[in-house]
Structure 1
């Protein structure tokens, strides 16, 4: 039997990465997913949840600091991410990017709460214990069987997601992997335990939304060579697809725009099967990023605007952009009642990363102005629980408001994002041949993406494990586990080669298999009920 070697610094573990016993605190239940970094397991914390929360009352300014929202969710079920690679020294784990991110970014209600990080005393592997929500946004959309969100719920989901992104950017990081699978979600009533327990500022939120998976997050000052294989392909920005040597926070804004369009339409906007097709999908929607060589009075600025670096980057990869007019924003967002959201999506999906708005600027656009500012008043200041209780009781307090944001784009257009002058980038409706109408839907049947006849419509709630976990043996990892979920940390895509499309694999493309278990959930909280489907 292989014997694990003992690290030389075992007697002096890192300050924020203590050496602890995994088995004495956690009981494994099921494997949620596997990736190149490690595995994620659903486990039961063996003691009261307050013991887990109080460990890091002194960690304010990090994701380890327990927020008051976390104290409402008293479920003993947590997710633990275990790093596969074992490092020679315990202090080597301090340099893991995700560890640095967790210790650098302040806790926020729109980010998955981290409960603790530790190194186990048997195999000396890194473990990250975190909040476990019921399902991800991709699963929720799919289980609704094309019944789209109401306008208030759509705005609530996107506002919370934007708050999470804005918070990460505030600390000069960017996420690099924003996609529906990394957006965890739970009904507000279930998160707070009852309707009476929902705080006033959450009354308009039917769902609690949290951005997850910080494994690819990177600081803006990191000047090391960047990899082109970050971000899931469908949400990958042009600067990554075209192998620009550096990129930063604008790639999160692009991904946010793509996700927003997907949530609004219930269909992915750019579902490329490989990187070459991904670029072509973007071209078909946004039009060519190249400025035309000859002036034409009838020429309309394409939806995605222009990007002066695109031609050179494409040339370096051995291809030339064809002439493509793209679509209008009305052809991308079909609901005429979402005009303000359409403006947001268009501003995010610009070819030139320097012309995309910052997260702060997006939050100030008309669609988000009221909803995000309402959340910010409570979220950005990390209101202590006594202040929160005082507010509920009518006792005045003055927590103050912090709004110290900086922008890193000096060469942006002088047009103000969201203002009428920005509409210069909005193509007018032009006459197109009938075979170009709604071309975004002509390549494949998008209804199969979210409309699965085998789906049960049940949410994947964890609460059933609380009563049953003592009877459950740890999962063996097979596909017949009691709980099989496409979780946020599952299956990072394999590296791809732009010249070898066959090597570009995307686990999510297999839509014939439902991510919703055939067996009803323990709580029997059905998404098909009128109360939930009308949200």
Structure 2
């Protein structure tokens, strides 16, 4: 997908403004060619060139992740050179998760919440496996349409293999992991999973889990429910913390079970794994998908994949010619004479196998015992033998054994042996039989990003 030059008005009719954020605003626009409505993210900043647009992390990430059904699909990127503006065209969804639960008095069905969280974990698993983490997972950035969920707003994403420290004030405070709050930017992709736990609790209970008014209040609210971490976890945090005192009095949190009395054991277990204080012990997206809480949805995915594979195989079998059956019928109707059969065998291509010179000489030096010789089968080992494959089918004449280990054997080789390409026999000092690159050549170095 290449960046288009022009304006959004060239191919779309702008309908109305749908929302606004810190760095962009969202408008609805209808494409003139087919009348389909899209959401257009209009960036507030100015861009100097198309190259600068193509280097944006959000643009690069969305192009890399465009094939996943639970990540928002970017239809087009439009850069206006005159106004230096950027418009990103996305598929249109109904609402975000926050709008879905805002003002509700009745809880959403647990099966629907489970389906939403399963899709969110699949989106993050795909992102993390592609070397990207989101850094701003919150209800406003999770879009839904009926029962389908898509993760959006990748403007804060970073590469997993980038070297910390990262930006400290990232992610919305209520969904920020402890390592983001207590260190000088030393965090990783597990921060996304902490945010998933916060979002999951909020969707189930209809209120935020840790609504801190500032960073210190945020940590205290976490300790009120989760409790203070063990000393070894705090020692790891202190290594990268200089802006905040990390000595907290021991506190036993009230726990998640008291806040979700009607939730199943599997649900509480998953939340506790997502909200582990230590990022090293926190569930990854891949492990969260394997949790017993999602067992039914995993089975449903397997059945759907099996059905799709069977339908694809049936379509291929129906439309493609049955080459195997036709080939079998042709072979059954063939009547080959012995001479033709031998020729067919001789002409059959085979993989070339390297044979050492000593083995080749030994192969051609066997004495004949006078018994009827078998049909000569072409040796396809050495290149010179491959050239002698099409020989007469009469019994071969006995060959005189080369005197390899007597003085003057080189003369016998010159007279009775075909000229062969030089082959290295055995290991020579300072050399190996394996292939070596030219002296001074280097493999391309791979730099860590």
Instruction: Return the alpha-carbon distance in structure 1 between the equivalents of residues 119 and 286 of structure 2.
Output: 13
In 2, the alpha carbon distance for the partners of 1:278 and 1:229 equals 13
Correspondence for 1:345: 271
| Residue range with higher mean Cα deviation, 123-132 or 344-353 | 123-132
Q: 1:313: how far off?
A: 5.3
5+ residue gaps in structure 1?
1-14, 50-75, 188-206, 293-305, 398-535
Which residue in the other structure is 1:274 paired with?
214
Superposed, 1:358-377 pairs within 5 Å as 358-372=284-298, 374-375=300-301
Counterpart of 2:161 in structure 1 is 221
Is contact 1:349-1:356 (8 Å) kept? yes
Alpha-carbon contact 2:184-2:241 (below 8 Å) kept: no
Aligned to 1:33: 19
Contact 2:70–2:150 under 8 Å retained in 1? yes
Q: d(CA) in 1 for partners of 2:152 and 2:303?
A: 22
Alignment partner of 1:356 out of 279, 282, 287: 282
Q: What is the SS of the residue equivalent to 1:333? A: coil
Whether the 8 Å CA contact 2:65–2:71 is kept in 1: the answer is no
Task: Quote how far apart the aligned CAs of 1:120 are.
Answer: 2.5
Whether 2:250 is the aligned partner of 1:323: answer yes
State the structure with more CA Rg.
Answer: 2
Query: How far apart, CA to CA, are the structure 2 residues paired with 1:46 and 1:121?
Result: 22
How far did 1:359 drift? 0.6
- 1:168 correspondence with 2:143: no
TM-score for both structures, normalised by structure 2: 0.65
4+ residue segments displaced more than 4 Å: 311-316, 376-379, 393-397
Aligned-residue offset at 1:372: 3.8
Asked whether the equivalents of residues 234 and 246 of structure 2 are also in contact (C-alpha less than 8 Å), the reply is no
The alignment covers a number of residue pairs equal to: 317
8 A contact 1:243–1:313 mirrored in 2: yes
Residues 290 and 311 of structure 1 are in contact (CA less than 8 Å); yes or no, is this contact kept in structure 2?
no
1:17 aligns with 2:3: yes
Question: Aligned ranges for residues 181-196 of structure 1 at < 5 Å?
Answer: 181-187=140-146
Does residue 4 of structure 2 align to residue 78 of structure 1? no
Q: Note the 1:493-504 alignment, pairs <5 A.
A: none
Distance in 1 (alpha carbons) for counterparts of 2:97 and 2:123: 15
* Deviation readout 1:151-183 (Å, 9 max, x if unpaired): 221211111111111111121111111111111
CA offset at residue 87 of structure 1? 2.2
**Deviations, residues 242-277 of structure 1 (Å, cap 9, x unaligned):** 134322210011001111111222221101111111
Report if the CA contact (8 A) 2:40-2:87 is conserved. yes
CA contact (8 A) 1:307 1:351 kept: no
3-state DSSP class of the match of 1:166?
helix
Match of 2:177 among 211, 223, 237: 237
Q: What is the root-mean-square deviation in Å for CA atoms of aligned residues?
A: 2.7
Preserved contact between residue 253 and residue 358 of structure 1 (Cα < 8 Å): yes
Q: Secondary structure of the equivalent of 2:180?
A: helix
Please give the alpha-carbon distance, in whole angstroms, between the structure 1 residues aligned to 2:303 and 2:152: 22
- Match of 1:128, SS state, is strand
Partners of 1:248 and 1:83 in 2: CA distance? 27
Query: Match for residue 114 of structure 2?
Result: 155
Q: Which residue of 2 aligns with 1:256?
A: 196
Q: Deviations over 1:375-416 (max 9, x none)?
A: 47768x9x9xxx68946x97589xxxxxxxxxxxxxxxxxxx
Distance in 1, Cα, partners of 2:217 & 2:41: 33
Question: Aligned equivalents of 1:93 and 1:377: distance in 2?
Answer: 41
How far 1:33 sits from its partner (Å)?
A: 2.7
8 Å contact kept, 2:58–2:157: yes
Equivalent runs, 1:32-111 vs 2, <5 Å: 32-48=18-34, 76-111=36-71
- 1:307 and 1:228 map into 2 onto residues whose CA distance is 18
Distance 1:363 1:48, change over 3 A: same
